[in-house]
Amino acid sequence: MKTKPLLIPDRDFEAYLYDCDGTLADTMEAHIEAWVQELMERGLQIDGSLIHELAGMPAVQTVEVMNTRFKVSLDPEEVAQAKEERFYQGYLHRIRPIPAVCEDLIRRAKEGKRIAVVSGGRTRIVKKTLEILNLAPWVQVVICAEDVKQGKPHPEPFLLAAKGLGVKPEDCLVFEDADFGFRSASAAGMLYVKVERA
C-alpha cells in the first residue's frame, strides 16, 4: 500500500508507538472480508464501510456496536473470537507491509529509540503479523486488546505502552491510520502522525 508522505514533527522523541493494522500492515481489506463473512453466517449482512468506520476498535466492542446499531443480540466475545480465528486461519497469508511506516520503525529502533506496537487486535494475531513483517525483533512492548480494560479511542492503550517503555506520554510519537487511534493518542497527551493511503 502506498501512503501519502508522513508529516512527522520536527523534534526528537524518546519513544515511537505504532498501530498495527492499516499502519504497519496492509490488512484492512482482509479484516473487512473476515468480518463480513463471519457476520453473514450469523444472519447479519453489513457493508464493509462500517468496519472501516470502526477501525481501531477492539473486536468485542465492534460486535457491541453491531448489536446496538442493528438491534441484534450476538455474543460479543464469541463472535469476536470466531472472527479473529477466521482471520488467523484464512487471511494471514495476505498480510503485506506498509513500507514507509515499517522502514520508519526499523530506523528509529536502530537509532536506539524505544518502540511499541499498540493495537486493538488480539495478541496472537498482532504478534504473528509482526513476525511476518520481520518487525518483532525491533519492538520492546506490544499492547493488544487483552491488555486493556478500555480500547481506543480511550487513552489507556497508549498510556500503558508508554508506561511499559518507561517514558512520559509527552515524549512519545504515535503513528496511526484511524480516527479511534487519533482520538486515543490525543487523549493520552501524545502527538500523532496520520498514515493515509495515497
CB 154 within 8 A of CB 145: no
d(CA 121, CA 84): 8
pLDDT at 2 (0 to 100)? 87
d(CA 20, CA 26): 9
Q: In this structure, what is the dihedral angle of CA atoms 131, 152, 29, 76, given to the nearest 10 degrees?
A: 100
The one-letter amino acid at 86: R
Say which CATH superfamily domain 15-27+95-194 falls into: HAD superfamily/HAD-like (3.40.50.1000)
Q: What angle do CA 161, 90, 49 make, to 5 degrees?
A: 70
Q: So which residues are the catalytic ones?
A: 19
* Chain segment 170-184, per-residue pLDDT in tens: 999 999 999 999 999
Please write down the HEC assignment for all residues of the chain: CCECCCCCCCCCCCEEEECCECCCECCHHHHHHHHHHHHHHCCCCCCHHHHHHCCCCCHHHHHHHHHHHHCCCCCHHHHHHHHHHHHHHHCHHHCCECHHHHHHHHHHHHCCCEEEEECCCCHHHHHHHHHHCCCHHHCCEEECHHHCCCCCCCCHHHHHHHHHHCCCHHHEEEEECCHHHHHHHHHCCCEEEECCEC
pLDDT under 50: residue ranges of the chain: none
According to the model, what pLDDT value does residue 108 have? Answer: 98
Q: What is the pLDDT of residue 55?
A: 83
Cell of 170: 509527552
Work out the number of other CB atoms within 10 angstroms of the CB of residue 49: 9
Q: State which fold the 28-93 domain adopts.
A: DNA polymerase; domain 1 (1.10.150)
Q: Give which of 68, 18, 58 is closest to 35, Cα–Cα.
A: 58
The neighbouring-strand residues paired with 54 are none
Kindly state the percentage of the chain with pLDDT values over 90: 90
pLDDT of residue 57: 84
Domain ranges of the chain: 15-27+95-194, 28-93
Q: Which amino acid is at 184?
A: S
Per-residue confidence (pLDDT) for residue 58, from 0 to 100: 84
Same fold, 15-27+95-194 and 28-93: no
The residue type of 2 is: K
